[in-house]
């Protein structure tokens, strides 16, 4: 490649809009500060007042159903935040997932929810993922569900985050496919989703490392634990 291209050798510091920092203790910090600032400026939210949470459940329950003007860059905002959410910001996954449901006919309510995400990013522009040098080299997965949180469909939303070396390596926030009739059923369905993600990551790690520790799935519902042992 050096015969065809000009190559400068050195430590990796960026990759596709992601900034990579090797800390003094040899931990690795990954963030998208530059990209986040650029997005905030693009949507004129770079001087907005910061908030401490990315979503407000009261806002999603409001009755502001006026259809958003077509000139408002709703789809562009979805794309910009999707890239940020899937790369380094699991903390906005739930909020972005909720506003992304209204791509065809967004309302004023959804746009206000979008602005809140931008305001949250305004105050957390330096946030990212930290992988510790002394972090435990084992896969751990956590998940949780709300209960009938979606006002329209009453379907539950599952949140999953998988950790390795002290940092998140995979995460998701999505509605379950059917309406759960109990918290046990909801937690059991969510544990299935988390297990599939965990097993995929296990196979990936076996291909690139020699770590053979058993992955751990954390469940906070005893009835769901019993079901998983005796389905």
- For residues 162 and 138, the model is more confident at 162
Q: Measured between alpha carbons, how far is residue 71 from residues 29, 164, 178 in Å?
A: 38, 42, 35
- CB 92, CB 120: distance < 8 Å: yes
Mean pLDDT over each residue of the chain, to the nearest integer? 84
- For residues 96 and 138, the model is more confident at 96
State how beta strands 157-164 and 140-145 pair: antiparallel
What's the CA gap between 175 and 186, in Å, rounded?
A: 11
CATH number of 136-231: 3.10.20
Band the pLDDT of 190: cuts 50, 70, 90: confident
What's the confidence (pLDDT) of residue 153? 61
Structure tokens at 3: 């015969």
Which is nearest to 216 in space by CA: 161, 179, 174?
A: 161
- Residue-range domain boundaries for the chain: 10-134, 136-231
What's the confidence (pLDDT) of residue 58? 61
How far does Cα 119 stand from its chain's mean position?
Answer: 17
What's the CA gap between 114 and 81, in Å, rounded?
A: 9
The burial class, CB within 10 Å (0-12 / 13-18 / 19+), for 47 is exposed
Total number of residues shown for the chain? 231
Structure tokens at 39: 């997005």
- Cβ neighbors of 136 (< 8 A, separation 6 or more) are 165, 166
How many other CB atoms are there within 10 angstroms of residue 136's CB atom?
13
Band the pLDDT of 29: cuts 50, 70, 90: very high
Residue 22 has pLDDT above 80, yes or no: yes
If you compute the radius of gyration of the chain from its CA atoms, what whole number of angstroms results? 20
What's the confidence (pLDDT) of residue 51? 92
Q: Mark 3-15 as b/e (b = at least 16 C-beta within 10 Å).
A: eeeeeeeeeeeee
Residue 188 has pLDDT above 80, yes or no: no
The burial class, CB within 10 Å (0-12 / 13-18 / 19+), for 224 is buried
Q: Which residues pair with 144 in a beta bridge?
A: 159
What's the confidence (pLDDT) of residue 178? 73
The edge-to-edge listing of strands for the beta sheet with 28-31 is: 14-15, 18-22, 28-31, 128-131
């Amino acid at each position: 490649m050096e015969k065809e291209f000009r190559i400068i050798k050195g430590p990796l510091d960026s990759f596709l809009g992601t900034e990579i920092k090797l800390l003094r203790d040899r931990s690795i910090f990954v963030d998208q500060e530059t990209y986040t600032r650029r997005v905030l400026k693009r949507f004129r939210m770079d001087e907005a007042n910061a908030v401490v949470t990315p979503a407000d459940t009261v806002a999603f329950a409001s009755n502001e159903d006026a259809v958003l003007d077509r000139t408002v860059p709703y789809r562009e905002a979805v794309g910009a935040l999707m890239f940020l959410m899937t790369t380094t910001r699991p903390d906005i996954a739930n909020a972005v997932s909720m506003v992304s449901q209204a791509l065809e006919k967004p309302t004023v309510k959804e746009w206000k929810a979008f602005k809140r995400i931008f305001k949250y990013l305004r105050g957390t522009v330096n946030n990212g993922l930290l992988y510790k040098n002394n972090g435990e080299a084992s896969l751990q997965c956590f998940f949780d569900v709300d209960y009938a949180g979606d006002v329209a469909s009453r379907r539950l939303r599952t949140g999953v985050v998988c950790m390795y070396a002290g940092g998140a390596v995979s995460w998701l926030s999505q509605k379950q496919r059917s309406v759960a009739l109990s918290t046990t059923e909801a937690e059991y369905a969510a544990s299935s989703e988390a297990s599939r993600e965990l097993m995929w990551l296990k196979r990936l790690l076996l291909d690139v490392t020699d770590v053979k520790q058993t992955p751990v799935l954390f469940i906070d519902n005893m009835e769901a634990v019993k079901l998983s042992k005796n389905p």
